[in-house]
Structure 1
Amino acid sequence: MSIEHTRDWSTLLPAEKPNGPIDQAFQLPNIECFTLYRFPCVLKHPSGYDTWRNEIYHTLKIHNLHRLIDSNIVRPYKDSPNARKWQQMSIEVRNWIAWNMDPILVRMIVKEQARAQLADEFMTGADVLLRQFTRSPQDPEDVSDVLLKFIGCQRRHYSSARWFVHRLMEYYTHTMNMKLRIPPFVPLLILLAQIEGDVGPAFVNLRYERLENMNNIAEDVTKGYFENVYFDVLEYLDSMDQSRRLIEED
């Protein structure tokens, strides 16, 4: 349809429609991604994930970068003209998103997501991992249910040690969402008591010795301390699996 030669703007031009399929490289802006760092939006606790994610999305949309975090939109072909620009921007957006998270949450995502270098895969990992921690029940029956699940979390109820460790962290996070103020040494002791059959007594006894050397376990075992042991267990399980595979290959 031809456009009328006039200065009368009472009728606006129709929106431009793309000629081909839209991929993540469609209409990438000519901006430096460091501009995003002028818009801090820090997620400190998983309970606020959904609100935080919406803020991240809208900030990116303002700069026409929102498609980079949508794994439902196809990526560009590697030989397309915008491929290199898309890759660089995707990595930079991913780094900005991680900058807006508590480092322990970033570590959890990278640990569990097979690939988390690009923006869409990092956000997919965040969706899968952190949304399970957002529920914050307030009904007394829900509170009792979460407490019983947390206290009764046992290794024998799960097919793998890794699944048990994740569940324990999930249940403990729910208690924090409800502000029940369970001290971090409680899930730590549950973890060590239940995981010994998988990691061996040497691993567990070393952690017990460190606890015995503390002046006050209730004060010295912080949430961060528990999270570090949580990751130590996961990394140790990974190393055991890797050693097992090498032996089987030989």
Structure 2
Amino acid sequence: MATEQPPHDNNWYEDTDEEVADQSVGLPKIGSFTLYKITPPLLDPEDLEMWIDEVRKTLRGHNLHNLIDKSIPWPTRDSPNRRKWKALSIQVRTWISSSIDYEVRRSIFDRGVRTVFADELVEQIKDYMEIESYGVLRLAMKSWMKCTRKQYSTNREFINAIRTKYRTLLGLKLGPAPYFAIQKMIMELMEVPDLKSFIVLKDNELDGIKNPVTTITVADFQRYCTSIEQHIKMTNADYASFSSR
């Protein structure tokens, strides 16, 4: 039976990874390489993809990259390469463990999920970071929704806080639309007697805009913040008290 030949072309980016029967195929000799810790260690969920790329690149340089590929099966327990595979997988797992932040590592291990081999640990890191990323989004949204004028000593502190929290949401690819951000700020400041007449004017401006949810931009939100801040400064209303609800 003829052996299948590779295509006669120059496309070296096509099928760069050969299919292998299991993770033990093509591994280097034990002790023939050195793995240096990745710095800085993985901490932020936003850095996960870049960190994974660095892990793969490092392991690929030593033909160890298949050890973190969960889609490739482990060798059977009677495989002639079983001892080498087990030793190298555990070695790579130890290296990966040393390349993540201590608190992240402790949190993953405290979950009690088995992470004896390299691909198991990588999967748990991905899973943990996905949950952490969701937690960051949830906390950011909760912080935004609970932001009120009463939490701050001055009116300008409140405006700066709501602006900062809104920017955080935008950076996390979350809403709400700028129109709702303006409305939230206006509703809170409407409770400040010394600002009420001016805030009513700004609210009326919003009412005059057609399709405000889709029309108003982030730049408009910034302009509203600046306009109200300037009015507060001109009228010395920064420490003006708010009414009780």
TM norm structure 2: 0.47
Higher relative contact order (CA 8 A, sep 6+): 2
Q: Which one has the bigger helix percentage?
A: 1
Query: Of the two, which has the highest radius of gyration?
Result: 2
